[in-house]
A and B are shown apart, each in its own frame.
Chain A
Amino acid sequence: MQSNVSVLILSWEYPPLVIGGIAPHVYELSRHLQAGRTVVHVVTNTAPGRPVLEVENGVHVHRVNSYENLTDFEDWVLQFNLAIVDYVTPQLSGNIRFDLIHAHDWLVGYAALLLRQRLHLPLVTTIHATEHGRNQGLFTPQQQTIHSIEHELVSSSDKVIVCSLHMQSEVCAVHTLDKQRTEVIPNGIDLRSLELMPAHSFRREQYAQNGGKIVLFIGRLVKEKGVQVLLQSMHEVLREFPHCTCIIAGRGPMLAELEASAAELGTSIRFTGFVDSLEKSYLLEIADVCVFPSLYEPFGIVALEAMGSGTPVIASDIGGLAEIVEHGRTGLISIPEDPHMLAGRILYLLRDPEEGDRLAEAARREARLRYDWHPIAERTREVYSALSGVRL
């Protein structure tokens, strides 16, 4: 007899609290799991204006307040996790029978480890990125601490889900993990969210010079995203296309540094700050090319969204991006940290819009075929079933 499987998902971010890629991933995964015989309870961080408990798209969302807003980040993580454990036991687990726990990244590691022991449940962990990979090594005490928590979480998990073959290799190498303990399930994209709503107030003139080409970057402004390389490449691009605008859409700790680097390029570089999904869809629609010059990229969800939108994509030959984008078929690949090659790729597409359209159309078909959330949620449910013994 088929049954529902009940999962306790732990995630430090969940919409409307969106810091990086974990929030949208957990949101989409949760609602697609819920649609197919899975009872989903997400326990996450509090968000301004949202109630402690609500049901959204059939997903039960519990927003737990940390005990205190401490300035020390590591201490904040500890007491936030302890607050989660205090909330789940006995309030939540006293009323609900869970079949397993699914943790997302090290930030909920303490809670996942304690709850696994206390509730005697299988633990699945998704590692979205490693601390070692983010920093290309471990150089500070904080990075070492985060790595330790991540290592303990990975080692204690019954299954570790990663989004790409590259991440599988990385997690297994960094944490000395047997590949059999991992499962590669790609991230998905919600294709409906890429469709622009008919009524909007965006205008091309807000972003770019009349008739000029648009080169777009969307993502967090951190070193690993490689925006500094894109800015270097724009010197060469602007020599041939002086009316081109490079739009940098995102926020992050590198903003001031990047703005300083871009100063000599004047109004050809536009920093928009954070863009919501509607504005992101619009930017993808008007862009001539979308560039992902990452130095480290476990997957590349925004690149996948660009592909799903039908925007020509140039991506670094690195990590998950190299698995998503096939050079010459669904986009162009560029060597990381090589602004000259990147400029060459950009110029190639700006000179030949028809080639860009051809690549974009193939990319759109690929994105819809391989990265739809329904089969991804189904594969995740199969992992749940195998670990919990609940037949689906």
Chain B
Amino acid sequence: MSVGLWIQIILNGVAMGVLYSLPALGISLIWNATGLFNFAQGDLLTLGGYVMLTLFGMMKLPYIVSFVLTLAVMGLVGYFISRIYFYPMLEHRVHPQIILIGTVAASVFIRNLILVIWGTMPTTFKNPFGTKVMNLGGIFLMPHVIWILGIAAGLLILLQYILRGTMVGTAMRAVAQNQTAAWLMGIRNDRMIALTFCMSTAIAAVSGILITPIIPLTPDMGGLISVKAMAAVLIGGLGSFSGTLIGGIAVGVAETVFATLVTPTYKDVFIFLVLVAFLLARPGGIFRAHVSEKV
């Protein structure tokens, strides 16, 4: 195979991987803040995609407007999920296993809500970036690949700025580090955790919006994507920002390369085997997050 073709495959893989990284980042953020592993992340992503479908595909709003509106709506959804559901359970120290079951139930609930509202037919909306293949010096790429990479990069920089450069972000990180100490410093834990949920849901929604040119929307697409996102989180290192990003890209590239070189049928199996191997050999992931809960 020529070098150009390789670059093409890898760039496609990176674009796919970034889309896994975004929900994975959400999982990582929530894990840091609350010690809760959100199994509903993939379905929140799907919900974001469907909200976009309604705003952009059906109501014909301009792309930018519907993008921002979707983010706002999904952010609110995340905020309220935390306020009315997960924070009260965390506050009363409900057994972590019960909360875990709660996130699984939330995932099923959202999936079936989508099914009831929008139906089971795979749908998609017009690709806003155009469908003409671009030729960059012998490398053929769809324009959305470039756009995905650009938007994701911008989003990640924005996210880093919010977390590192603003008061709210600092407060969020303080809550993630030590809830009691943060509380004593006058930080409202409930608000910060709700904000974390809000942020991670909004990031997942970005991924749900951008993924539609690649994968059509179906109510249960969240399942497979969330497993990939979890793989990204665990391979990269749960709780680590750059680890999650790299883990997602690794999953995306590995999947695309495997699909091209070996067979697309078993690409998901391949990813799971890699994940299991990682969990057994290096449970902390590439960036060695702390997995063990005690001792």
The judgment on whether A and B are partners is no
Which residues of B pack against A, CB within 8 Å? none
